[in-house]
């Protein structure tokens, strides 16, 4: 049985000459995933090559993380991995509290209005600041994608087992 992998970041560039790299975070748990001692797996896009790396230090800088991996002490050691994904296995994900969900659980869910009418499908999750924003594609109400704020006034119910989300549209969202 093949193992399920989840992306937590993307190595977008090098930083300096001492082996530091810039990581574009794709996780809500960046402080945990990029903490010193954390083990992550670097994978190419085809997932044919993988390298387990251990983080020695990391810091947030301009919306990204500058990270150093143990044993990668020179720019030449890390440059070849630009564009690779940092992933964790499904077993390393951990349990969440009630009302919390991983991105992969939400993406692909059908969005229903309180009336039962289908609004569309969640295709992407944006994290601009105060709250997440779900991108609703294939909308029945609009030709363009709908941006739905993830707030209590809008999201009524999330049913991961059925892959359905019930929402109440605020005035002006569509």
Place of tokens 């989300």: 165
Given a cut of 70, is residue 167 above it in pLDDT? yes
Confidence of residue 127 (pLDDT cuts 50, 70, 90): confident
Mean pLDDT (whole number) for 20-49: 90
Domain locations along the chain: 5-92, 103-167
Q: Select the more confidently predicted residue: 99 or 158.
A: 158
Q: Is 62 helix (H, G, I), strand (E, B) or coil?
A: coil
CATH architecture of 103-167: Roll (2.30)
Residue 1 pLDDT = 38
Residue 130 pLDDT = 82
The structure tokens listed for 69 are 């991996």
**What is the reported pTM?**
0.68
What span, in angstroms and rounded, lies between the C-alpha atoms of 155 and 88? 28
Confidence of residue 173 (pLDDT cuts 50, 70, 90): low
Indicate the CATH number for domain 5-92.
Answer: 2.40.30.60
Q: Do residues 66 and 57 make contact, with C-beta atoms less than 8 angstroms apart?
A: no
């Amino acid at each position: 049985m093949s193992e399920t992998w989840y992306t937590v970041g993307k190595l977008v560039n090098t930083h300096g000459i001492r082996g530091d790299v810039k990581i574009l975070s794709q996780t809500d748990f960046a402080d945990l995933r990029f903490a010193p001692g954390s083990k992550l797996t670097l994978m190419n896009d085809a997932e044919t090559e993988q390298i387990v790396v251990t983080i020695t230090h990391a810091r947030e800088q301009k919306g990204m993380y500058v990270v150093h991996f143990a044993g990668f002490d020179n720019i030449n050691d890390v440059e070849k991995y630009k564009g690779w994904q940092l992933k964790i296995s499904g077993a390393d994900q951990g349990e969440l509290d009630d009302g919390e969900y991983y991105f992969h659980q939400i993406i692909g869910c059908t969005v229903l209005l309180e009336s039962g009418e289908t609004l569309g499908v969640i295709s992407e999750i944006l994290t601009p600041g105060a709250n997440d924003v779900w991108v609703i594609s294939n909308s029945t109400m609009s030709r363009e994608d709908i941006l739905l704020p993830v707030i209590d006034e809008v999201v009524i119910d999330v049913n991961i087992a059925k892959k359905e989300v019930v929402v109440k549209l605020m005035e002006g969202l569509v």
